[in-house]
Amino acid sequence: MLKTPTIVLNVKTYTEATGINALELARLMEKISKETGVSMAIAVQASDITRCAKEVSIPVYAQHIDPIKPGSSTGWTLPEAIKTAGAVGTLINHSEHRLILADIDTCILRARDLELDTLVCTNNVATSKAVSTFSPLMIAVEPPELIGGDISVTTADPGIVSNTVNAVRTINKTVKILCGAGVKNGKDVARAIELGAEGVLLASGVVKAKDKEAVLRDLTSGI
Amino acid sequence: MLKTPTIVLNVKTYTEATGINALELARLMEKISKETGVSMAIAVQASDITRCAKEVSIPVYAQHIDPIKPGSSTGWTLPEAIKTAGAVGTLINHSEHRLILADIDTCILRARDLELDTLVCTNNVATSKAVSTFSPLMIAVEPPELIGGDISVTTADPGIVSNTVNAVRTINKTVKILCGAGVKNGKDVARAIELGAEGVLLASGVVKAKDKEAVLRDLTSGI
Amino acid sequence: MLKTPTIVLNVKTYTEATGINALELARLMEKISKETGVSMAIAVQASDITRCAKEVSIPVYAQHIDPIKPGSSTGWTLPEAIKTAGAVGTLINHSEHRLILADIDTCILRARDLELDTLVCTNNVATSKAVSTFSPLMIAVEPPELIGGDISVTTADPGIVSNTVNAVRTINKTVKILCGAGVKNGKDVARAIELGAEGVLLASGVVKAKDKEAVLRDLTSGI
Amino acid sequence: MLKTPTIVLNVKTYTEATGINALELARLMEKISKETGVSMAIAVQASDITRCAKEVSIPVYAQHIDPIKPGSSTGWTLPEAIKTAGAVGTLINHSEHRLILADIDTCILRARDLELDTLVCTNNVATSKAVSTFSPLMIAVEPPELIGGDISVTTADPGIVSNTVNAVRTINKTVKILCGAGVKNGKDVARAIELGAEGVLLASGVVKAKDKEAVLRDLTSGI
């Protein structure tokens, strides 16, 4: 189970984090995580899980699972398949890969059966509260309009973080709340934690950075 | 480029072909393909491509690609990712994973740019003809109601195979036509070829068989 | 706002309730509702709203709205359009028309802005609880495997009704809970109310009945 | 069957063409069509079909149909329902409402069975050619990046129109080809016809215009 506070990196389908590049980025995170003691996880494409999980000690997550059981689901992502490949958790319902409500429920149940960490992405306070009724391990609230942008959610809309924490706590005392969208540096991370989050979910801020190591080190300074 | 006549095995998301089981099945196919000289390819889950492609010499296909370019597509299947993992081709528009028309066009273009074989699945004569205008490498016509069933398309509806061949030929002289659904033995394969197909696409007939090797050998006898 | 206890009839896309047939069924319900004093609403296809709402006094619902604002959404269902046509409420997230979580939130907000009743369909206790955090007017829990079947949810799985009521009450004291799937007669309705529901959502039990009037009258006997 | 050359107006879900506004716009088109003799059709939201079709003599189209038969399809658009409501045709596969390939085939067949005109929208030459194998009544090619924009497809990308006409003619001699995206005035219409199209499909150019009548009259001047 992922330790918090934490930094979760979703590498999406960027060229800079596909194939060997995903592995190199995972290794870099492993190095910095070991040096700093900061908990980190990397969510890679399905085809990159096996190698990353085999060669790196930080937690490797899938970016998505489908609400299916083994059988006839050509081209969909079977929870068992990403588990067997070495993933220890998965994003669910990312902004770029939304699921219908009943399928979020099913995905969380399937992941729990397989002892996979569940990190469910949400777009606002209301949907975070709804998801908290399912008791996933973590919820990452990310306003869609800020994703991939230059301003961190912790600056552009700090209220969404603290309000999510407060709203979710009325329902569920144990789910961990992360925030994301536009997060780029240690100050953003520190601010996230001040607002009640237990870490961040980010992507382009690291993956598209010229000096990924510098950005990752800076991010850890916020924890 | 896959040689024809051929037997393409789509292992779907069956437990019997996930993780190490996928690799073992791929090895079995490799052995029989070498012994018999019959062209075979295996379409595995994205998380199984790397290992299968590394350890086995028969062509490894993805089961699906999404119509995307590198970037922000969390949890979707990037054509570059499956290429880098070692796939040499991909199924497109499988019955269990249909695509909108414009996306079939885009997937074929993206795969062609990456020099990936394209095997587009269709449900009837009319859609096969439509797809042939895109000039994929192969089209596999599979009546959905016969998929996973006990009766081979070549017995239950032989006309769909010959009519597809004839209809496609009025548009496109080079696309190779496979057929699928319920295919289980060498007689079905032989009949497919008599009807004008250049091979078969199958799944459960092999994957769910008690004696996979016997079934695979029998299938090759039809070519 | 729909009065409870209530009987909500979803006529789906049945021939027996398309066009003039929808209107006749709405008139029949109006007659029985007036005679018995039992609250009833009818959810019709978008193209049938105008006529039903104009000619009948019982509440007319849409079967679905999309999470959109006026603009460029060709062929989707604009909440304003069904409101203008005369609907006073809408089903949301029906089993045959599931929505992603963020869109359920948006649909409820859009409907509330337009003062449309919201009846959100769910598949189990967990998703009912999640939806209750959005405070719709009503939630109708319907186990998908029982929809359209011969055995009422109140017989086949009474626990899902009482457990939904109990689970939702821990979150939300005001949302009204209906149940559905296989409901066919007054005993089923009476049992639903005993289990804590404030009515039923049903479809084929009335629409496919030879004697719709007899079935409707029997249903009202349960309230 | 819609006469060509023609001007087809898709009013989308604009406020300016919802409810009574749709009816007024339909009446305006009827008036201008009668005065000028130019063939025109209007594609309105499902909830507006009944009234428009009843009160106006120009052809009323649906904006979409789903590939379904009567039955259990809550909230989807049944071809029979829009026919009964008075539509004489339908858009299929609009840029804002794309369909999977097999469903385009099914929608065309369902519409043909009901004697509804079929106007299938496409995004480029390749998909137009593919759709022409299904022999719909009309194909409207619209580059998505130009839809809703200020520059007409006939100016920004005239080649797509002439190339579509040429490519489709190698497959199908009878399907009528329209073009759309950014069309705003009579010159655009005239140019479309010069390029081999038999009319235009447009939306915002009329619906969002301050003086709809002036724009409509100008459009007819191009025919």
> What's the rounded Cα separation, in Å, for the pair C65 and C104?
10
DSSP H helices, chain A, are 20-36, 49-55, 79-85, 101-113, 125-132, 153-156, 158-169, 186-194, 204-207, 212-220
Residues of A with CB under 8 A from a CB of B: 10, 12-15, 18-20, 43, 45-51, 62-64, 68, 70-78, 80-82, 84-85, 91, 94-97, 147-148, 203-204
Q: Beta strand B117-122 with B138-141: parallel, antiparallel or unpaired?
A: parallel
Report CB contact under 8 Å: D134, B126.
yes
Residue B99 has pLDDT above 90, yes or no: yes
Q: What angle (nearest 5°) sits at the alpha carbon of residue A176, between those of residues A171 and A182? A: 115
The predicted model scores a pTM of 0.97
Task: Judge whether B97 and A75 are in contact, CB under 8 Å.
Answer: yes
Which chain A residues have a beta carbon less than 8 Å from that of B47?
46-47, 49-50, 77, 81-82, 84-85
ipTM of the complex: 0.97
Which of B10, B70, B75 comes nearest A91 by C-beta? B75
**Of A16, A24, A35, A94, catalytic:** A94
Tens of pLDDT, residue by residue over C40-80, are 999 999 999 999 999 999 999 999 999 999 999 999 999 99
For all residues of chain C together, what is the average pLDDT? 97
**pLDDT (mean) for B23-45:** 98
Q: C46: which 2 tokens?
A: 């978008």
Which chain C residues have a beta carbon less than 8 Å from that of A99?
100-101
> What's the rounded Cα separation, in Å, for the pair D91 and D117?
8
**Smallest Cα–Cα separation from A43: which of A80, A17, A78, A77?**
A17
* Mutation for testing the A interface, residue in C133, C135, C142, C173 having most A CBs under 10 Å: C133
* Contact between chain B and chain C (3 or more Cβ pairs less than 8 Å apart): no
pLDDT of D149: 86
Task: Judge whether B86 and B52 are in contact, CB under 8 Å.
Answer: yes
Which of C18, C45, C85 comes nearest D19 by C-beta? C85
**pLDDT (mean) for B142-156:** 91
pLDDT of A148: 84
> What's the rounded Cα separation, in Å, for the pair A124 and A142?
7
Which chain B residues have a beta carbon less than 8 Å from that of A94?
74-75
Residue of A nearest to C167 (CA): A133
Residue B148 has pLDDT above 90, yes or no: no
Report CB contact under 8 Å: D81, C15.
no
Which chain B residues have a beta carbon less than 8 Å from that of D130?
101, 105, 130-131, 133-134
> What's the rounded Cα separation, in Å, for the pair A7 and C39?
54
Q: Which residues of D157-196 are buried (b: 16+ CB within 10 A; e: fewer)?
A: bbebbbbbbebbeebbeebbbbbbbbbbbebbbebbbebb
What percent of chain C stands above pLDDT 90?
A: 98
Min Cα distance A30 → chain B (Å) is 21
Look up residue B76 and give its amino acid. Answer: W
Per-residue pLDDT band for D140 (boundaries 50, 70, 90) equals: very high
Tens of pLDDT, residue by residue over D34-66, are 999 999 999 999 999 999 999 999 999 999 999
**Neighbour count for residue C34 (Cβ, 10 Å):** 12
Q: What angle (nearest 5°) sits at the alpha carbon of residue B98, between those of residues B97 and B100? A: 140
* DSSP string over A117-160: EEEEEESSHHHHHHHHTT--SEEEE--GGGTTSSS-HHHH-HHH
pLDDT of D176: 98
Q: C218: which 2 tokens?
A: 């029997």
pLDDT of C148: 83
**Smallest Cα–Cα separation from B87: which of B61, B55, B51, B113?**
B61
pLDDT of B37: 97
Min Cα distance B38 → chain A (Å) is 24
The H or E element that residue A60 is part of is strand A60-62
Report CB contact under 8 Å: C91, D80.
no
**Smallest Cα–Cα separation from D179: which of D168, D204, D164?**
D164
**Neighbour count for residue A101 (Cβ, 10 Å):** 28
pLDDT of C103: 98
Inter-chain CB pairs, A–B, below 8 Å: 149
Residues of B with CB under 8 A from a CB of D: 93, 98-105, 122-124, 126-127, 129-131, 133-134, 171
Which chain D residues have a beta carbon less than 8 Å from that of B103?
98
* Distance (Å) of CA B209 to CA B159, B165, C216: 27, 30, 52
pLDDT of C58: 98
Please name every residue paired with B44 in a beta bridge, in sequence order, or none if there are none: B62
**Neighbour count for residue C166 (Cβ, 10 Å):** 12
Per-residue pLDDT band for D147 (boundaries 50, 70, 90) equals: confident
Task: Judge whether A37 and B48 are in contact, CB under 8 Å.
Answer: no
> What's the rounded Cα separation, in Å, for the pair C75 and D92?
9
Min Cα distance B128 → chain A (Å) is 19
> What's the rounded Cα separation, in Å, for the pair A36 and A216?
11
> What's the rounded Cα separation, in Å, for the pair B165 and B172?
10
Please provide the size of chain B in residues: 223
Q: A17: which 2 tokens?
A: 């984090």
pLDDT of A221: 96
- Full 3-state SS string of C92-140: ECCCCCCCEHHHHHHHHHHHHHCCCEEEEEECCHHHHHHHHCCCCCEEE
Q: D38: which 2 tokens?
A: 């130019």
> What's the rounded Cα separation, in Å, for the pair B9 and B6?
10
Report CB contact under 8 Å: C105, A129.
no
* Distance (Å) of CA D44 to CA C69, C71, C120, D199: 16, 13, 27, 19
- Give the residue carrying structure tokens 């994973």: B97
Report CB contact under 8 Å: C105, A122.
no
| Residues of chain A with confidence (pLDDT) below 50 | none
**pLDDT (mean) for B106-122:** 98
Task: Judge whether B58 and B47 are in contact, CB under 8 Å.
Answer: no
Please name every residue paired with B62 in a beta bridge, in sequence order, or none if there are none: B44, B90
pLDDT of D199: 97
Q: Which residues of B8-45 are buried (b: 16+ CB within 10 A; e: fewer)?
A: bbbbbbbebbbbebbbebbbbbbebbeeeebbbbbbbb
Per-residue pLDDT band for B149 (boundaries 50, 70, 90) equals: confident
Which of D93, D130, D134 comes nearest B134 by C-beta? D130
What percent of chain B stands above pLDDT 90?
A: 98
Which chain C residues have a beta carbon less than 8 Å from that of A127?
101-102, 105
Task: Judge whether A66 and A73 are in contact, CB under 8 Å.
Answer: yes
* DSSP string over D174-193: S-EEEEESS--SHHHHHHHH
Task: Judge whether C15 and D78 are in contact, CB under 8 Å.
Answer: no
**Smallest Cα–Cα separation from C183: which of C213, C212, C211, C146?**
C146
pLDDT of C37: 97
Residue of D nearest to B168 (CA): D133
Min Cα distance A7 → chain C (Å) is 25
* Contact between chain D and chain C (3 or more Cβ pairs less than 8 Å apart): yes
Tens of pLDDT, residue by residue over D80-120, are 999 999 999 999 999 999 999 999 999 999 999 999 999 99
Phi-psi label, residue B202: left if phi above 0, alpha if psi -120 to 50, beta otherwise: beta
Report CB contact under 8 Å: B46, A46.
yes
Report CB contact under 8 Å: A133, C124.
no
> What's the rounded Cα separation, in Å, for the pair B209 and B202?
12
For residue B17, give the DSSP letter: G
Residue C99 has pLDDT above 90, yes or no: yes
Tens of pLDDT, residue by residue over C173-184, are 999 999 999 999
